[in-house]
Structure 1
């Protein structure tokens, strides 16, 4: 045999192999397409899905609906809790002048100011801004030094003071 005839022979073999693969793929595609057609028709009621597949689809739909309801209920609870929390903080005095705010810088502090200073007349009633436990009270910052003045320190449930 000549070199040329061997090349043609092996080339035609590769061509036949490719043709067989393409034919098999087309057959598989046609088969899967027929399955999809059966599934599509089953939603219209003309062909029934196997009961296992139908039950699985229904169970998944129910689970998704239940999860959506739970998420909606949780969102409502979070919103309600946030509204309640926002309302529960109050000003400690009815009328005041803010003499120094949190984070204020200047020559009065070596770092940024760490609190809120409410300037009020002597004898003014002071209330807690939120529920909690008094951990320090008194002159000189409740024992922290004269730089803090009179102070009442309350530990709140969320870890703030």
Structure 2
């Protein structure tokens, strides 16, 4: 039987206990404030058809934090943010069959190369990235996400 996904608690590490306390308190306050969105994420990831999403978020617990904080665009409402988060990961994993390896897009010469792969820095900016590398070292990264087309009534 598959283990059910539950929203992870980040590892708050710091030398000062007061910093850990305030980070934990802020996290718990956000989790309570966005409880419906946390449940939506958990429910979606626990559906059998979404095993690939569950694996993605289980391997990256900090990626879940975007459901209660911010993801790509500050103007997203809470439910839009979670739906976009789920859509982004699903679309990326569907389109980028080469993952978890990076895919070289092209090289400028023997030293400069452009890769497409995971964003390894800040998940708030999207899960996918173009990385410019010089002699295998990343010198610049452009992050992006796939977003839902949200229709509004006029």
- What TM-score, normalized to structure 2? 0.23
Q: Is the strand fraction higher in 1 or 2?
A: 2
Max Rg structure: 1
TM-score (structure 1 length as normaliser): 0.22
Higher relative contact order (CA 8 A, sep 6+): 2
The structure richer in helix per residue is 1
